[in-house]
Amino acid sequence: MLLDDEIIGLANLSDRAHAILKNPDRQIKFQLRKHTPKGKIVDCYLVYHSTARGPPCKGGIRMSEGVSLEETTRLAEIMTYKNSLMGLPFGGGKGGIQTSSSLLPELKETVISGYAHEIREELYSGAYVPAPDLGTGPRQMADIFDVTHIRSTVTGKPVGIGGIPGRKEATGFGIKEATGIATRNILNTEVSDLTVAVQGFGNVGAWTSKFLEEEGAKIVSISTAEGAIYDEDGIDISKCFESRKHLGDKCTLECENAEKIELGSELLLDVDILIPAATGGVITKEVAEDLQAGLVVEGANAPTTNQGDRVLRERDIPVVPDILANAGGVVASYAEWRGAKSGSKTKKRETYQVIRENIHEAFDEVLDISTNIEIPLRKAAMVASARRLRETMKGRGWI
């Protein structure tokens, strides 16, 4: 649960409001049996955590062997509070497909098209609007569009079929903006003066690294599932970025002048900023006890466990929470969805601007709450989000 007694009290949530937010509105579980990898039955999920600010419910489709109903539900809950914090007219939802993300493109197309076919009524009705997540990208969103032929039923599409310029890099751009705000307000300096370690060099981590490098930050470590590297003088992110296009996760094995380090040790480096931008649950209690960064910016969803978060609080290491730091993607998705409804066009600079405005506005609100009540940023972000949800439920006559 993301809500605790302190947040419930500070957000002035009634017992009824808490009861509505306590459990998911709807959980859908089904199986794909036809045209699946090696004839394997594939478990699939779609979860609506809260429709208070929807429908539609908004959240990406994750494709991974580690996908489960529990994980999909947790991620849908995160989307509820992220969408609310950003002031978006979306409930929180999430899709999950339990299969390898490294399938051949043709087989991946079959799986994602089968998934879209099974939830077609959810898509046609506008109850759920998917987007890319771990293991999926614009190609898979195009496959969903091929099923529905309605531009507003899916976001994160290629530009030629209604996607918007800047959507692919949107999450990384938002993380860069959040990192800059946190650096100025918490560390009292500029990003250009700091060292950064980024765990994960997929779409989110790569774009985050690239944007921060452009701001003058020294990216001293990056990692993928294939390995981690370190260079105290700073890694040439532009070269690694280009290498990633051809080598994928193996790009970290080809970076020049960088020292290969043990995978996982990038989380423990003596850096100014740590950005976990891969998977959830990596900053455990044990990692938090040895973590040396002065600031953690959560690029991934739920990268810090509850015990890990408790240790970081005790050590006075500030954390910019996921629902604030990585919200650039869903903000851009909102711009794409809105454009699909109206038929308007969006330029890349406009995508960046709407992300910048939303991240800055939300961060200012969170900083005010954090300062006035003297609570950590994570709790402050949850209080701001929960208050907005309370007002929405009140306006709908739910409470």
* DSSP assigned state of 304: B
Phi and psi for 299 in degrees, rounded to 5? -80, -35
Instruction: Name the nearest CA neighbour of 72 among 50, 51, 46, 99.
Output: 46
Tell me if 75 sits within 8 A of 46, measured CB to CB: no
Exposed/middle/buried for 149, CB within 10 Å: 0-12, 13-18, 19+? exposed
Domain segments of the chain: what residues? 16-161, 170-325
Residues with catalytic roles: 94
Q: DSSP assignment of 368-383, as one string?
A: HHHHHHT--HHHHHHH
CA distance 89 to 23: 20
Cα torsion angle, 241, 247, 253, 257, sign: negative
Same fold, 16-161 and 170-325: yes
Give the pairing type, strands 218-224 and 227-230. Answer: antiparallel
Angle (CA) 136 215 381, round 5°: 60
The domain defined by 170-325 carries CATH number 3.30.1360.170: no
Homologous superfamily assigned to 16-161: Leucine Dehydrogenase, chain A, domain 1 (3.40.50.10860)
The answer to whether 279 and 267 have CB atoms below 8 angstroms apart is no
What pTM does this model have?
0.94
Look at the block and give the residue holding tokens 């995508």: 351
Show pLDDT as tens, one digit a residue, over the chain (399 residues). Answer: 589 999 999 999 999 999 999 999 999 999 999 878 777 899 999 999 999 999 999 999 999 999 999 999 999 999 999 999 999 999 999 999 999 988 888 899 999 999 999 999 999 999 999 999 999 999 999 999 999 999 999 999 999 999 999 999 999 999 999 999 999 999 999 999 899 999 999 999 999 999 999 999 999 999 998 889 999 999 999 888 888 777 777 777 677 678 899 999 999 999 999 999 999 999 999 999 999 999 999 999 999 999 999 999 999 999 999 999 999 999 999 999 999 999 888 999 999 999 999 999 999 999 999 999 999 999 999 999 999 999 999 999 999
